[in-house]
Amino acid sequence: MVDGLTTTIEIASLAMAVWCLITTFRDRPMVVPHLVGMAVLWLLVIAQAVVSTVQMAGGERPAETATFIGYLATIVLIPPACATWGFVERTRWGPAVIAFACLILPVMMVRLQQVWDPAHV
Amino acid sequence: MSDPARRPEGAAAARSGPGRVLVAVYAVFALAATARAGVQIATRFDEAPLAYVLSALAGVVYIVATVGIARSGRTSRRVAVASITVELVGVLVVGALSILDPAAFPDDTVWSRFGSGYLFIPLVLPVLGLLWLRRVSRAEAAPTA
């Protein structure tokens, strides 16, 4: 895992969450810019997954490999799944779905970092 | 249910509006609990069999509840109510036991200490789920001319 990337994902995710919460409170549905934002966030997450996989292939092992892979797979799934699920709902509750996903994501990134290197955090 | 006219035809209301957020939260918990239990059972079942079996049970209950809320129809709603009730009882019983007898739970489950490791969402979620389902079935029972 790359620390800078983890921090970037956490900040980007929280920014998305704030944006989507504002949209929810303004009683607007999700629009295409929200989807673009989620796509960028997803690319960042995928980048972290690819880097981690390369590192693992290179012999670097997380403290708990199975748990790490489980978390990583879940984290990679969440942005596209929630973006799709939220976009289908054409009310204020669409962005609310994304806001939830973007609040969960940083928490899971912290957990992922802990599983990767328990001594580091 | 302030504006039933805007809703799609039929009984699909449970997954629209706030229900859509509820389904998303349930789906994430279903995924997280099941994945966690899978890893625990596969890698170190001997350490805390009770906790890991409970984690797996919680995962299954979340999956059933997710599908129950997301699908329309009365049967699905009953399945959802039943599974969410099991979930509520589970988080209360396991939560209380994990505090009274920590030795029986050497490793955490989603329901340990009333879900404190998961921001107490496991405790709040079934209450919100039951309230939401009650609202949906009332809205459906009411005649919408």
On the question of pLDDT at A20 being above 80, the answer is yes
Cβ within 8 Å, pair B20-A100: no
Using the Cβ of A70 and the Cβ atoms of chain B, whether some distance falls under 8 Å is answered with yes
Whole-number Å distance between alpha carbons of B104 and B52:
12
pLDDT at position B40:
86
Cβ within 8 Å, pair B36-A77: no
Cβ within 8 Å, pair A74-B31: yes
Whole-number Å distance between alpha carbons of A40 and B42:
34
**Scanning the structure block, which residue is given the tokens 């607007």?**
A28
pLDDT tens digits, one per residue of A78-94: 999 999 999 999 999 99
Read off the pLDDT of each residue in B53-60 and give the average, rounded to a whole number.
91
Residue A50 resides in a domain? yes
Domains identified in chain A, total number: 1
pLDDT tens digits, one per residue of A28-73: 999 999 999 999 999 999 999 999 999 999 988 888 888 899 889 9
pLDDT at position B11:
45
Cβ within 8 Å, pair A89-B27: no
Q: Where are the strands (E) in chain B, listed by range?
A: none
Residue A10 resides in a domain? yes
Residue A121 resides in a domain? no
Pick B24's closest partner by Cβ from A64, A66, A97. A97
Residue A17 resides in a domain? yes
This complex has an ipTM of: 0.90
How distant is the Cα of A8 from the closest Cα of chain B, in angstroms?
Answer: 22
Whole-number Å distance between alpha carbons of B31 and B26:
9
Residue A95 resides in a domain? yes
Taking contacts as CB-CB distances below 8 angstroms, the residues of chain A near B21 are 93, 96-97, 100
pLDDT at position A121:
54
Confidence of residue B12 (pLDDT cuts 50, 70, 90): low
Q: Which long-range contacts link B82-90 to residues 24+ away (Cβ below 8 Å)?
A: B84/B126, B84/B129, B84/B130, B84/B133, B85/B126, B85/B130, B86/B61, B87/B58, B87/B61, B87/B62, B87/B122, B87/B125, B87/B126, B87/B129, B88/B126, B88/B127, B88/B130, B90/B54, B90/B57, B90/B58, B90/B61
Whole-number Å distance between alpha carbons of A3 and A48:
9
Range of the domain at A100: 3-116
Read off the pLDDT of each residue in B60-79 and give the average, rounded to a whole number.
92
Read off the pLDDT of each residue in A14-41 and give the average, rounded to a whole number.
97
Confidence of residue A118 (pLDDT cuts 50, 70, 90): confident
pLDDT tens digits, one per residue of B77-135: 999 999 999 999 999 999 999 999 888 777 778 888 999 888 899 999 999 999 999 99
pLDDT at position B1:
46
Q: For residues B119 and B7, which has the higher predicted lDDT (pLDDT)?
A: B119
- Residue-averaged pLDDT of chain B: 86
Residue A68 resides in a domain? yes
Cβ within 8 Å, pair A96-B21: yes
pLDDT at position A10:
97
